[in-house]
Structure 1
């Protein structure tokens, strides 16, 4: 049973999540032979203030 966890700074629309989920599920089915009905995907949307790159929070200018 594949489990995919997507962590992203900011947020995605419902339509974006649906498309991402469909494409990841399709890839796992096509490449790894995993049935779509066994694939679980979770989206973790975090505020940009909770992410930092190169020592700078993403919500900083």
Structure 2
């Protein structure tokens, strides 16, 4: 779990640098972070992720929390392939 957390944190920092207010002179930065993940995470898990991503964007980018958009897309295993193999069979 720590490895995944570190990779997510690195990705967030990278995204934050690309969305920094300095790159938008009018200060209208509206970062949108889209997360695709296999279906099955609870609302509580997603809430924690959204909070941490928002906090990281505020800390590393200077965004206001109310401007940070986090969108979750749940992907069924039958719609997700790794190495040419689907993670699950399609629902019948």
Q: Do Structure 1 and Structure 2 share a fold, with TM-score over 0.5?
A: yes
Deviation track 1:35-58 (CA, whole Å, cap 9, x = no partner) reads 101001110001000000011001
Q: Taking CA–CA contacts closer than 8 Å with sequence separation of 6 or more, which of the two structures ends up with the larger relative contact order?
A: 1
In the superposition, the TM-score normalised over structure 2's length comes to 0.62
Larger radius of gyration: 2
In the superposition, the TM-score normalised over structure 1's length comes to 0.92
2:72 and 2:39 map into 1 onto residues whose CA distance is 11
Matches within 5 A, 1:27-46: 27-46=56-75
Runs of 4+ in 1 over 2 A off after TM superposition: none
Give 5+ residue unaligned stretches, structure 2: 1-29
Structure with the larger strand share? 1
Give 5+ residue unaligned stretches, structure 1: none
